[in-house]
Amino acid sequence: MEVKEKKVYHAVGKRKTAIARVFMYEGTGRIKVNGRDFRDYFPVDTLQITVLEPLKLVKKEGEFDIKANIKGGGIKGQSEALRLGIARALVLYDEGLRPALREAGFLTRDSRVKERKKYGQRGARRKFQWVKR
């Protein structure tokens, strides 16, 4: 009996403090996030649409099974990190998809992160009110 090994495409997506490790292989279109179905993990429709955007753009929805491990951040940052990870995995699958994904902005890491609070201040930039008298 011959066992055919599946080709796995591994990529990492990041956004704010969220990190998504994505494992993509040919299959039936199931997406699992931290062992749960992605529709359970991301209950809001807009987040589900965000995750599926790269697959819809290149018309590959339903062709890959995706398993993702996500840590850190909030639910929106996690969905955008997963989107970046899926887009990068698609480029590993077929380099010809890069221009379309790049044009849509799915290969650009959104590097905006919340600025840290400094000591002696109320917040990152806000100062305590100063009164002379």
Task: Confirm or reject CATH 3.30.230.10 for domain 9-104, answering yes or no.
Answer: yes
Sorted by where each begins, the domain ranges of the chain are 9-104
Q: Which residues in the chain belong to E strands, given as ranges? A: 9-15, 18-26, 31-33, 36-37, 64-71
- Of 39, 6, 36, 47, the closest CA to residue 23 belongs to 6
35-to-10, 27, 30, 32, 41 alpha-carbon distances in Å? 17, 17, 11, 6, 9
Asked if pLDDT for residue 126 goes beyond 70, the answer is: yes
pLDDT digits 0-9 by tens, 69-124: 999 999 999 999 999 999 999 999 999 999 999 999 999 999 999 999 999 999 99
Mean pLDDT over 50-58 rounds to 95
13 in Cβ contact with 83 (< 8 Å): yes
